[in-house]
Structure 1
Amino acid sequence: MGRISPIRYIVFLAVLILVLGGAGLAKGGLYLTQHEGDATHMVDVLLRMGLGQVPHLDFSTPIGIFAFLPIRWMMDAGLGVGQAFVAAQVLIAVLFAPLVARVALSRLTGLAAWGFGVVAVAMILALVHGGNVTAISVAMYYNRWAWVASFIAVLLAVLPERDGDKAPLIDGVIAGLMLAVLALIKPTYFVGFVLPVAFGFVLRGAWRSLFAGLMSGLAVALAMVAIYGTEFFPAYVADLLTVTRSGNRAAPGVSFVDVLNAPRFLIGTLTLILSIIVLRQAGRDRTGLLLLLLAPGFVYVTYQNFGNDPQWLILLCILLLAERPERGRRVLFNTDARGAIAALALVAFALIAPSLQNIVTSPFHNLVVKTEGYVPPFADRTGLDDLFVSERRASMMLTRENLAARHPELAPYAGDEKVFAPLEFLGESMPHCALQLGDLAVHRYMADRLKEPPFNFPATSQFFVADLASAIWIFGDFAPLKGGAPWYYSGTPGVENADAIIVPTCPVDPGVARRVLAGLESAGLTLSAPLRDPMMLVYPVVKE
């Protein structure tokens, strides 16, 4: 198959960025249809960074700083958070375009090359994480960026460059930078793919590439230390360890076994196993071995990601298309090797096609959305008025309660479920209640009440909220809790700086609230008697 013109390919990527990025920006804002809590988490982090706080050093989060810096840069340039989010993705797509082109032009041909370009640009510029339900969401956007960085590093390491396209130092630098990006966006991907990428270069004898990769990765690490100080990486590691101790987010989706053999995943797992076997039988021993080494990373990353979208199937499809041998070789079931590999690539594509379709079309969904019925939940804050949510979802407050607690006559018919046990804190007992919808409205109410009697908290107040997440400080224009966690994982981060402990009577996640309250009782705090509201108990902290 003929070589692809570099100019033609770069123009192709530029057009993709222009079309998808332009569609995302043209609406003038983001109109979210789900995952408002994730959007609030993103806004929380970005506002803290706007106040000069640094992730890991000034507040706790296991998500790396590179997941937020591009968006914060765009906000600092004057864009609202909605437009800044899309503009940041455009910036990343532009920065990644030469790297995507290097992979495609040196290692891929035909459909694999063009398809890789479409997938890489679309995944960066998407306005949904994937899935098979049409939606607009900023949830897990950093996972999309990380998948593309992983694809680039893996393809450079696994596939040999064609004669005439050899540039081992450049390939190594790119791979090293991509792994560094993974480490500073979401280390799950770094852990899953760093060894297969290194082995890929070793098995090809690309020692110069391996050395260049190590040096470029080290350079990024040294740059981070120079900018943020020697405490940055220990603090980052400490934040990551909070997730391993978390009872609610160490594995945010289905079990590891289910990721392998649940109905949604089993065909993908079998396709991966068959691909390894067929590649080795077809004479692609090295690629088959490296695919075997990549398999644990594929499963681990999918297991760790909420939603458990197996985006690695896209990479598998591209690898299979790139490694089709000439006709004549016979493989499993005495089939032609080229046809068998093409068939496996088709199966991999078909399995991930619904998610990929959602990704590619999401900017256009935002472009054509009818804006009636959407409201900006943070309109009172400068720079947040171009992020919209459904008014119905934002204002409808729905809870899940233990009916037997309200109607004692049902108690003999109820199971002895510990999950429905009342929340207990310092002698107070609160019946089980979970806020399933309307957390933004409830948090706005709580923020307003905290300014009024009997609470009367000033704007400088910092609160520790016993729940999964809270927008109270954003709505009330209070100070963010220094050392706190925008999204709770474990422990009592930042509690030493709190002016008051807020215990919601109907938290978003009662299981999290139960663990937080247990930690607070052993934290050694001196608390005043609670100030009461139907939606919260507020315990002022007695400062020594």
Structure 2
Amino acid sequence: MRCDLTNPSRDGYGAAGQRRTVLFLACLGAVCAAAAYVGAVPTRKFGHDLFFLLDNGWRVFNGQRPHIDFTSPWGALSFLVVGAGMALSHGSVNAIGYANALFAFVLSLWGYRLSRHAVSFVPRLFICLYLALLLVSPYSLGWGALNSSHAMYYNRYGYVLLGLLMIEAFRRTAVTEWEERFGGASTGVVAALLLFLKANYFGVALLMIAASFLLGRRSQARLTGMTLGFFLTSLAFLTYLDFDAAAFYHDLQLAAGARAMSFSYKELLIKLSGNAVYLLFIVLLSWQSSLTVGRQDNDAPGFTYVLLGFFFFALDMVLLCSNQQFTELPLTVLYSLLLVVEVHRRSGSKFRARKKAPFRVERLALVAGATFFFVSFFTQFYGLAYGLVQKTWPSDSSSLVRFTEPRLSPLLMYDDSSEPNSNGKRYVNYINSGIRILLEHSRPSDKVLTMDMMNPFPYSMGRSAPRGGMAAATYNYTFSDGHRPSEAWYFGDADIVMVPKRPASPIDGLLKNYRSGLDRRFFLAAESDMWFLYKRR
């Protein structure tokens, strides 16, 4: 059985190939320039999540490391990307946009090189631009392109890296041993990056690699490259972490135990039912594609396309059920285009030669597959375009409450009726009030911890973050009663603990587990209408 979702095809290395590369670079440059210009997008959803990136990027920018200096269910990759943006922007809030633009440029170029002998230029162009748009479009996947936000951006990183793995893993054996080894090395590097991004994406990567083995991608050259790529990339991250693999594993254990507490079969059923139509579509598309190729090709894939359709949909659902995401299936979308490209390659000449009704049905199926891809493509494009317009001409900007701290002044936050405390004027007032009491009752050298989901003050005030604490504190998601950092590690070397009277996120779990430690280690030093300020005894 052979199932090639892409086809080795040289676009040429002469003038035509150069023109195509220039066109791709121009399009990619425009996408990345737009992302950099948007920077920190005017935020309409999950406003507090912006400080997840800013706080942890600030920690890394100032020399702290996840797992070593603070507990994190997420690996170092996303924080390093934002830290690089901090370096480029001199600590600006727009570091997020710069970081995403840089990462999108690198990964899209990576995909362009990886697919050089895999698909012809037009699908290659759109696949790589899709990966770039998927990474930089400033809204949370599954929440609508008009709900601008940088929340959960690590999920976009994961999907794009898995897209690179798909391009390599589900093609036929490369034309040369060198290309086969290069492709294997790429997949090994991607797998290691996903390991140090978020565990669920690494698990999906392993399933993809295993599936590629079942489809015949088991050459010695590929296995050698994959092993080397994974080993060297993992070695680089472990070097960064002082080879403290135990700390890394400990944080993953905490995350797994805490996340298990919030698993719900009801949520699983809601997500499955909400996406069932996509399963039906991709199965029908795969089935029709199998029939089309079977009529024209002696080396037909049988029902492998259908099985792969189920497989990629299942992988998307695994990620949906482990993410705060209810729809959008990037892996299934990418599979639909790769499937269309493969079927057109095998049967395209037959479509042009014959006009019978079955062939019109088959052409319609290919159009449907391409349409499915381009709906997602233009959704990502629209999200970026909307963010660009809002950055240039923000709506109702005169009525917005603004941050008082100068380095936060570029941030615009809009109200969200579904989560008022973590968005818009309430959240801006929450931070402004906290900054005022800190300016009155603390020294610039004091390290501040906030007993809330996010800790906005070290970055906002340009102070050193305390060693210890969590990257984000969400009860039964990043910690639980039985899976949590110790009191000593949670409070770390913080000099001040800020406890909100009206928290941005529920803090009952934090108070339940750490209130006694707070009272033993700190005393109430000041109070405002929105905050309690505790100082170390």
Task: Please report the TM-score for the alignment, with normalisation by the length of structure 1.
Answer: 0.78
Structure 1 distance, partners of 2:417, 2:364, is 53
Equivalences, count:
492
Contact in 2 for aligned 1:127/1:137 (Cα 8 Å):
yes
Bigger drift between 160-169 and 195-204 goes to 160-169
Aligned-pair CA distance for 1:65:
1.9
Alignment of 1:64 onto 2:60? no
Q: Any residues of structure 2 matched to 1:64-463 within 5 Å, and which? A: 64-109=75-120, 111-130=122-141, 131-160=143-172, 167-207=179-219, 208-231=221-244, 233-246=245-258, 255-262=267-274, 265-278=275-288, 282=294, 283-285=300-302, 286-308=304-326, 309-324=328-343, 325-326=346-347, 338-339=362-363, 341-342=365-366, 345-346=369-370, 348-349=372-373, 352=376, 355-359=379-383, 361-362=385-386, 364-366=388-390, 368-370=392-394, 372-373=397-398, 377=403, 379-381=405-407, 387-390=410-413, 393=415, 437=424, 438-452=426-440, 456-463=441-448
Contact 2:288 2:362 in 1 (8 A): no
3-state SS of 1:497 partner: coil
* Cα offset, 1:217, TM superposition: 0.6
Shift in alpha-carbon separation, 1:73–1:344, aligned structure 2, 3 A: same
- Aligned residue for 1:444, secondary structure, equals helix
Give, as a single letter, the amino acid of the residue that structure 2 aligns with 1:141: Y
Counterparts in 2 of 1:258 and 1:275: CA distance versus 1, 3 Å: farther
* 1:441-520 mapped onto 2 (5 Å cutoff): 441-452=429-440, 456-475=441-460, 479-488=464-473, 489-490=478-479, 491-492=484-485, 494-510=490-506, 513-520=507-514
Alignment CA distance shift 1:436-1:145 (3 Å): closer
Deviation at 1:30, TM superposition (A): 4.6
Gaps (5+ residues) in structure 2? 1-6, 295-299, 352-357
CA distance in 1, matches of 2:93, 2:369: 37
Q: Measured at CA, do residues 123 and 165 of structure 1 come closer, stay the same or move farther in structure 2, by a change above 3 Å?
A: farther
Say whether 1:7 aligns with 2:30.
no
CA distance in 2, matches of 1:369, 1:251: 41
Displacement of 1:76: 2.3
Letter in 1 for 2:279: T
| Residue in structure 2 matched with residue 535 of structure 1 by the alignment | 530
The change in CA–CA distance for 1:71 and 1:524 in structure 2 (over 3 A counts) is closer
**Structure-2 separation of matches of 1:279 and 1:375:** 54
**Higher-RCO chain (CA-CA 8 Å, sequence separation at least 6):** 2
Q: How far apart in 2 are the matches of 1:171 and 1:464?
A: 45
Alpha-carbon distance in structure 2 between the residues aligned to 1:9 and 1:129: 32
Between 1:468-477 and 1:25-34, the stretch displaced more is: 25-34
Deviations 1:373-420 (A, max 9, x none): 478737434xx65x4214x64xx99998xxxxxxxxxxxxxxxxxxxx
One-letter amino acid matched to 1:267: V
CA distance in 2, matches of 1:260, 1:378: 44
Shift in CA distance, 81/451, structure 1 to aligned 2, threshold 3 Å? closer
Deviating more after overlay: 463-472 vs 284-293: 284-293
1-structure distance, mates of 2:370, 2:81: 35
The answer (yes or no) to whether the contact 2:312–2:335 under 8 Å persists in 1 is no
SS in 1 for 2:499: strand
Q: Distance between the aligned counterparts of 2:122 and 2:249, measured in 1?
A: 41
- Please say if residues 153 and 175 of structure 1, whose CA atoms lie closer than 8 Å, have aligned partners that are also in contact: yes
Structure 1 counterpart SS, 2:258: coil
TM-score by length of 2: 0.78
3-state SS, counterpart of residue 163 of structure 2: helix
Say if 1:249 and 1:474 are closer, same or farther in 2 by CA, change over 3 A: farther
| Whole-angstrom distance in 1 between the partners of 2:530 and 2:260 | 23
- C-alpha distance in 1 between matches for 2:91 and 2:518: 41
Asked if structure 2 preserves the Cα contact closer than 8 Å seen for 1:20 and 1:122, the reply is yes
The question of whether the paired residues in 1 share the 8 Å contact of 2:169 and 2:217 is answered with no
Residues 68-104 of structure 1: CA deviation (Å, up to 9, x unaligned): 3233234324545344333333332332344322343
Q: Distance in 2 between matches of 1:109 and 1:399?
A: 46
Shift of 1:280: 5.1
Q: Provide the C-alpha distance between the structure 2 equivalents of 1:157 and 1:526, rounded to a whole number of angstroms.
A: 55
CA distance in 2, matches of 1:241, 1:162: 38
Range moving further from structure 2, 475-484 or 51-60: 475-484
- For structure 1, the 5+ residue unaligned runs are 401-433
1:9–1:360 distance in 2 versus 1, CA, 3 Å: farther
Matched-pair contact (CA < 8 Å) for 1:193–1:294: no
Residue 297 of structure 2 is matched in structure 1 by: none
Please give the alpha-carbon distance, in whole angstroms, between the structure 2 residues aligned to 1:399 and 1:114. 39
CA RMSD for the aligned pairs?
A: 3.8
CA distance in 1 between counterparts of 2:390 and 2:33 reads: 11
Cα 1:272–1:165 change in 2 (3 A) is farther
Q: Is the deviation greater in 75-84 or in 140-149?
A: 75-84
How big is each residue's C-alpha offset from its partner over 1:167-208, in whole Å with a ceiling of 9 and x where there is no partner?
A: 200111111112222222233211112222243045224322
State the SS of the aligned residue for 2:411: strand
Cα contact 2:24–2:125 (8 A) shared by 1: no
TM superposition shift of 1:359: 3.9
